[in-house]
Amino acid sequence: MNVSSITVTLILTVYKDMNSDKNVFFIVVFLIYIASILTNITLMLLIYLDTSLHKPMYIFLFSLIVNGLIGSTAVWPKVMVILLTGMNTTSYAGCLIQIFLTSTYGVCHFTVLTVMAYDRLVSIFKPLQYHTIMTPQKVRQLLLAANLVPVVCVFGQVFLTSQVPLCKNTLRRIFCDNLSLSSLACGDSIQSRVTNLYGICSIIAFIILPLLLVLLSYVKIIVFILKASGNNGKKAFETCSPHMIVFINFSIATLFSVIYNRLNPYLPGEAYVLLSINYILVPPLLHPVIYGIKNQEIRDSISKMWKRKIRTI
């Protein structure tokens, strides 16, 4: 960490423009965040306790849920504290930690969704060999690759950002992100250039490449669904539709977030608030809802759980 930046207190200026809207924003964030925590913990317990859900797809879903909870918890409790107290500041170290957690959330989301797309591809095109391909060891390797590699790379990005000296201390944000913190750097130094280049390479490797792989996978799956007979096509669509909805929603949210970061000076703060909600508050709530509604095995598991409780009573 750059020594001259350690004592810097960063000011998050978007909160000053909210005025009376702070109360409404707090209620919205609080309700969605609490609902997200409850639904995600319920789904995690369901996957953990029901042995019929101990399959690769649900193990990957469990990882996606944990990642979503980490991302939302890194942001929204702090946002709610600021809304209640009016203290719209954060320490430099706290900002770096938040950047690490939210960046890990974004990158791991894409890598885990890519692994899930691969799992669906194998289940549709090689159903008889599925269990020999998706062995427990293979699942562990895929989970490790989808989570550990991004974490290491994000740590490298945050470390490089921490070495850049700052000359400003105001962020037009409701929480910290790497690009906005980098914009506070003192001029166009070699450190800034290296940090930006590393960030571009990370985006290509962990967002654009996974995005292309998932799109190609689903083009292949859609072609299969269109050519398949009624039952086979319907079964393939039901298997993949929750993942497709989650992937499309998160990709669109990420795209708009990236566009906003580039057009930040020209757009109102309200736009960033809405994008932040759609990027890091809504997805963790949406995932368990979508999988609960669209996935037959999860619906059956919930039904079995309720029947057991009724019998116990």
| Average pLDDT estimate for 44-58 | 91
Domain boundaries, the chain: 9-312
Lowest mean pLDDT among 202-216, 248-262, 278-292: 248-262
Residue with the bigger pLDDT between 238 and 279: it is: 279
pLDDT of 114 higher than 80: yes
Q: Are 72 and 36 in contact (CB under 8 A)?
A: yes
Q: How far apart are CA 140 and CA 291, in angstroms?
A: 22
Q: How far apart are CA 200 and CA 304, in angstroms?
A: 47
Q: How far apart are CA 121 and CA 117, in angstroms?
A: 6
| Average pLDDT estimate for 116-121 | 92
Write phi, then psi, for 163 (nearest 5 degrees). -85, -10
pLDDT of 236 higher than 80: no
Q: What does the pLDDT look like over 82-98, one tens digit per residue? A: 999 989 999 999 999 99
Say which CATH class 9-312 falls into. mainly alpha
pLDDT of 256 reads: 78
Nearest to 175 by CA among 112, 110, 109, 106: 106
Lowest mean pLDDT among 231-240, 246-255, 294-303: 231-240
pLDDT of 261 reads: 67
pLDDT interval class at 157 (50, 70, 90): very high
Q: Are 73 and 97 in contact (CB under 8 A)?
A: no
Mean pLDDT of the chain: 86
| Average pLDDT estimate for 282-288 | 85
